[in-house]
A = this chain, B = another copy of it.
């Protein structure tokens, strides 16, 4: 089978390798599309090392057709359209993953769109359903509301009835973030957006969902309310703090929590998958948060990475692996 080989420093080329077979609890997917994530770029650049048991090939999420199943996995799944979180190996014609990380895709959803669902939605649900389950009445701020995972987090928060606000990096982005009403979106380049949020939320928020990192640290310590939970999801602005006070964390009894989807044990992934599946069937529209930015060909992985890391890129970038997809 063909796959994207990145052994040659910093560049990716298509290579051939042996096909692999699903083990117990696993299935194999004939990949239609693979979603591209920043982690893939960091891994290529040597800035991120995948876990020991991971497939060393890039690609953490795919859509496609079930093509083979492990002994204990229902044969009825063969041929079904699925999207899945995979432990590496998404940039390939075939990938093996656990049944518990797959979601069946409804007929009306495009496979190109479905490839953008797993990373964003599993991560949003890891933080807002598994680590800090949100509910009606919770007040939530979601930073960088145009990021894929933040859009999923915002929709999930609204779905469970929380009060949700968002931030964007600049004023011109307020209008392109329609998941939230315009009046609930603050631009972080306005000096006192944090004071506006404290006022709007009547004293501060219960939960912060932050993909920005260093640049939002100090504002977070101001907008978090008593007993609040501050979720550290990513570092779009980097992870290096220059000046900050720890006092609000102690005095407001804050819980600050970092986590990565990839280091979750199988049973946690399964729990999250089941919850997402149930919500999707009950009307939560996972595909609505996937805004396709660009579809690249299988042999254009280098261009896809470049596009992803370009400043101001909004929306999902996917690789089209096979050409006979629906």
Contact = CB atoms under 8 A, between A and B. Distances in A.
A253 B257 CA distance: 7
B246 A213 contact: yes
Majority-rule SS of A interface residues: mixed
Contacts of A226: 263
Interface string A125-137: 0000000000000
A104 interface: no
Contacts of A243: 240-242
A295 B310 CA distance: 66
B263 A250 contact: no
Nearest to A259: B253
B242 A242 contact: yes
A259 B263 contact: no
Contact of A256 (B251, B256, B259, B263): B256
How many protomers of this protein does the assembly include?
Answer: 2
A247 B242 contact: no
A12 interface: no
Contact of A251 (B233, B251, B257, B260): B260
Interface in A225-243: 226, 232-235, 239-243
A252 interface: yes
A255 interface: yes
Contacts of A214: 246
A217 interface: yes
Interface string A248-286: 011111111111100100000000000000000000000
A267 to B, nearest CB: 15
Given A255-B255, A256-B257, A257-B256, A239 B250 contact: yes
B217 A235 contact: no
Contacts of A255: 255-257
A253 B258 contact: yes
Nearest to A251: B260
A125 to B, nearest CB: 16
Interface core residue of A213, A240, A259 (most chain B CB under 10 Å): A259
A263 B254 CA distance: 12
Leading 7 A-B pairs by shortest Cβ distance: A250-B258, A256-B256, A239-B247, A249-B258, A239-B246, A241-B244, A253-B259
Interface of A: 213-214, 217, 226, 232-235, 239-247, 249-260, 263
7 contacts: A226-B263, A232-B250, A235-B250, A240-B243, A240-B244, A250-B260, A253-B263
